[in-house]
């Protein structure tokens, strides 16, 4: 079973930065596409960014230019560098495997979730 261990969240002031990490185990990391999702209280979990095994990247419109997804296949780790954080970025962030769905022309979550890491952006 694929397992995820997310870390790097915390409390940060608006305009600040955080770097999230997610160590993946239980699968051949380099064979798959990975992504980050987030969920705020009362809202649906939403995609933040995804990165394919060949390096193609997609971002949600609200984070483009501020967030950067990357991966280290040797370390089985996917990262999310978050800069110029805003209060609306406050959420619990999860990494997960993603798969391209032709019917939506988008990469979407498949399989299990980790526990996530909390990001709070506040004065």
pLDDT above 70 as % of the chain: 100
Return the pLDDT at 90.
Answer: 98
pLDDT above 90 as % of the chain: 93
Tell me, rounded to whole angstroms, the distance of Cα 47 from its chain centroid: 8
Return the pLDDT at 9.
Answer: 98
User: Residue 56: which region, alpha, beta or left (left: phi > 0; alpha: psi -120 to 50)?
Assistant: beta
Return the pLDDT at 46.
Answer: 95
Per the CB < 8 A criterion, the answer to whether 78 and 69 are in contact is yes
Query: Which residues neighbour 116 within 8 Å (Cβ) at sequence distance 6 or greater?
Result: 6, 39, 92, 93, 94
Mean pLDDT calculated for residue range 3-9: 97
- Share the mean pLDDT of the chain: 96
Rounded to whole angstroms, the Cα distance separating 63 from 56 reads 16
Rounded to whole angstroms, the Cα distance separating 45 from 95 reads 11
Mean pLDDT calculated for residue range 78-107: 95
Return the pLDDT at 110.
Answer: 93
Q: How confident is the model at residue 71 (pLDDT cuts 50, 70, 90)?
A: very high
Residues 9-65: pLDDT tens digits? 999 999 999 999 999 999 999 999 999 999 999 999 999 999 999 999 999 999 999
Per the CB < 8 A criterion, the answer to whether 109 and 98 are in contact is yes
């Amino acid at each position: 079973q694929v397992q995820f261990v997310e870390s790097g969240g915390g409390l940060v002031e608006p305009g600040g930065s955080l770097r999230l990490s997610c160590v993946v185990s239980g699968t051949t990391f380099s064979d798959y596409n990975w992504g980050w999702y987030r969920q705020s209280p009362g809202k649906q979990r939403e995609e933040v960014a995804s990165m394919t095994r060949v390096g193609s990247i997609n971002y949600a419109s609200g984070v483009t230019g501020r967030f950067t997804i990357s991966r280290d296949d040797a370390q089985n780790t996917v990262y999310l560098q978050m800069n110029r954080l805003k209060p609306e970025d406050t959420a619990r962030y999860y990494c997960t495997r993603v798969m391209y769905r032709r019917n939506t022309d988008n990469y979407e979550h498949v399989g299990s979730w980790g526990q996530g890491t909390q990001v709070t952006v506040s004065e």
